[in-house]
Amino acid sequence: MIFIGTFLLLLQHLFLMSPFAVSGSHHHRNHSLLADKSALLAFKKTIVFDPKSMLATWTEDGDVCSFAGVRCNKHRHSVVKLNLSRSELTGPLSPIISNLSGLRNLSLSENNFYGIIPPEFSSLQHLHSLLLDSNNLHGPFPEFLSILPNLTVLSLNGNHLTGTLPPSFFSNCTSLANIDLSQNLLTGRIPEEIGNCPGIWNLNLYNNQFTGELPASLANISELYNIDVEYNNLTGELPANIIGKLYSVVSLHLSYNNMVSHDRNTNLEPFFTALANCTELEELEMAGMNLGGRLPSSIGRLSVNLDTMLMQENRISGMIPSEIAHLSNLTVLNLTSNSLNGTIPAEINQMSSLEQLFLSHNLLTGAIPAALCQLPRLGTIPPTLGQCTDLSKLDLSYNKLTGSIPAEISGIREIRRFLNLSHNHLDGPLPIELSKLENVEEIDVSSNNLSGSVFFQISSCIAVKLINFSRNSIEGHLPDSIGDLKNLESFDVSGNHLSGGIPTSLNKIQSLSFLNLSFNNFAGVIPSGGVFNSVTDKSFLAILTTICCVIGIRRIKANVSSGNSVDTELARKQKTPELIHNFPRITYRELLEATEGFEEQRLLGTGGYGRVYKGLLQDGTAIAVKTHYHGRVERVVDSSLMRASRDQSPEVKRMWEVAIGELAELGILCTQESPTTRPTMLDAADDLDRLKRYLSGDTTATFASSLGMSSSTLSDD
């Protein structure tokens, strides 16, 4: 038997080495390549737009293995790789690609392919990676992918896939390692069967509409490196039981879901205790979830490798635990928009790698600790601030911080993005040393108790684009040197005690598009030229008004447009236009007619949250109408509400927009600093009652800012 076996093996070897055998192999190779070439040329015919001429080399007489984006195996038996990523190709995703029977890698990312993912792709049994991200594909998730036994990498990110993620996809996934289904429209629960795929190390499901809890079976995937499920509708308690077993996880992104902390959203301790087991963790993102509870002391036991912690836009209360200082490698810490109170812990100076610290919109009190200045990478406000030379941005706004802005702030000359100390209780003079921040783009110290004057050296801030000194107690004249700020786009000094004339040098700043000088004691004529001649398409109207109020359009435009100088004394004698606070109720139809359907030619200005149109009522009253929230509503409205609105009918969406606009408008009016500009409780209750009737179906209901519009009038006296 041994002899016969040896003889058969020798006979097989002699046959394979014979001319006949070689000829047969050559014939098969040519046949496979010819079939692949035919498939590729047929695929080319389906492309309707090829702006980069990527397929120009795909010709009948060309070598298929030399086609652009094509690679054959080393024996040139068949095409094994097709990579046309970032080619800007447009056309249907053709099933003819499935004729490339030896294909192992297919990459068509960042093109404009449309249609469904062809079920014929199920015949690509040798396929290892399928990259179809950033196209316009639609239809349900391709369940047939589960029968591709060698599939390792699947990226369908950035398409329009719908429906649920079928459990069967995870029935045959021993090779699957990298899944990216983010930025689609997938719904339903994440299947529990995902735990059958022990080799997954990357799981990207963010920006979908998944619901339910994270599947407990994720704990079985011990090598999981990255989990990103941000921007979904996931619920349940924070997954402490899962996370505590994922010892290798490096990135955990849970932001903008509907999860809660333990004990009815009051206890963060169990989750952070479990998180301490993730010894390789570098990124923790849990923003915008309305999580309740206090930051526990166990936060100091998190991974020594932790680099980024984002926990803004939650409901976290209590003090910042001093143990947070143990996170010595943390570079970014964002706790903005919570309910943190107490003082900033002095121990924070031990966080030697910290580069970005965001604590705005909290209830922090006391002085800014001098210990912050000992951080080699982070700036602060103490007198020793000059030691902090690598700061790029600092935001401590919306707190209750006290004390003055020290002169040593000039030491952070490398700050380039923004310095935001607004909405605190800082006092003392506006420091002239701000003028030494030559690279900063935004300076906002508004809503404090700062005094002094605006110094002429402000012109040294050559890169600044935004200056907001509003709502302080600054006095004196505005210096002419402001006109040397060639990059300035927004300048707000409203609500101070400034006097004298408006600097004519402001008309030299070509980039200036927002100017607010209101609520000061300026005198003299309004200059002409530059921004002052752009009243019809700039936000300059704020110079004499507050938001949502009508200005004396005709009078201002006459002063602005006229090139004639007006005697200063005469200008002082002119009576200031009187704002009518008890303005009439105006219906949406009246506003529509007054502005000719919000005609673009009637556009007076565009602000951060709306547009202002000039209008004329039937009785001859000149009005200005501000429409609210064009593309910025998501910045001020709870993200879960915005996600919920996507599922509503157009009529309901419109009603939601009205309600949001009305409530925001009422909020703005009710928070005016001067009692004379705030509505009474009865007025506010009346507006809310009208809004309630409108949402109940009463289309005849009118209110001061009907359908997201606000209007006021001025007397002619």
Task: Supply the pLDDT for residue 389.
Answer: 52
Domain boundary pick from 100, 127, 154: 127
Domain boundary pick from 127, 142, 157: 127
Q: From the CB of residue 685, how many other CB atoms can be counted at a distance below 10 Å?
A: 11
Task: Supply the pLDDT for residue 397.
Answer: 82
Kindly give, in sequence order, each residue whose CB lies less than 8 Å from that of residue 521, ignoring residues fewer than 6 positions away.
Answer: 497, 498, 499
Tens digit of pLDDT for each residue in 387-429? 445 566 777 788 777 888 877 666 666 666 788 889 888 899 9
Task: Supply the pLDDT for residue 662.
Answer: 72
Please report whether residue 47 resides in a domain.
Answer: yes
Q: What is the DSSP string of 338-396?
A: SEEEEPPPGGGGG-TT--EEE--SSEEEEEPPGGGGG-SS---SSGGGGG-----EEE-
Which tokens belong to 349? 């100076």
Which tokens belong to 370? 């001098």
**Identity at 24, one-letter amino acid code:** G
Task: Give the C-alpha separation, 491 to 478, whole Å.
Answer: 12
Partners of 499 in the β-ladder = 521
Please report whether residue 663 resides in a domain.
Answer: yes
Maximum pairwise Cα distance, the chain: 124
Domain boundary pick from 77, 96, 127: 127
Question: What is the mean pLDDT of each successive set of 10 residues along the chain, which is 717 residues long?
Answer: 38 37 41 89 96 95 95 89 96 96 96 96 95 96 92 96 95 91 97 94 96 96 95 97 94 97 97 96 96 96 95 96 93 94 86 84 79 50 47 74 74 70 89 82 92 89 91 93 91 93 90 89 84 52 34 31 32 36 53 73 62 76 63 54 65 70 70 63 73 68 42 39
Tens digit of pLDDT for each residue in 1-36? 433 343 333 333 333 333 333 333 344 445 589 999
Pick from 140, 147, 153, 141: which is nearest to 124 by CA?
147
Strands 610-616 and 622-628: antiparallel
Please report whether residue 394 resides in a domain.
Answer: no
Q: From the CB of residue 598, how many other CB atoms can be counted at a distance below 10 Å?
A: 16
Please report whether residue 680 resides in a domain.
Answer: yes
**Identity at 575, one-letter amino acid code:** K
Task: Give the C-alpha separation, 407 to 386, whole Å.
Answer: 9
Q: What is the CATH number of the domain that holds 102?
A: 3.80.10.10
Please report whether residue 34 resides in a domain.
Answer: yes
Output the CA torsion sign for 294, 298, 299, 302: negative
Please report whether residue 275 resides in a domain.
Answer: no
Structural domain total, the chain: 2
Which tokens belong to 271? 């989750």
Task: Supply the pLDDT for residue 166.
Answer: 94
Distance of CA 712 to the CA centre of its chain: 34
Partners of 491 in the β-ladder = 467, 515
Task: Supply the pLDDT for residue 531.
Answer: 78
Is the separation of the CB atoms in 325 and 302 below 8 Å?
A: no
Is the separation of the CB atoms in 381 and 409 below 8 Å?
A: yes
Which tokens belong to 242? 């899962």
Residue 123 sits in which domain range? 21-127
DSSP secondary structure letter of residue 168: G
Q: How many residues does the chain have?
A: 717
Please report whether residue 519 resides in a domain.
Answer: no
Please report whether residue 139 resides in a domain.
Answer: no
Q: Mark 557-567 as b/e (b = at least 16 C-beta within 10 Å).
A: bebbeeeeeee
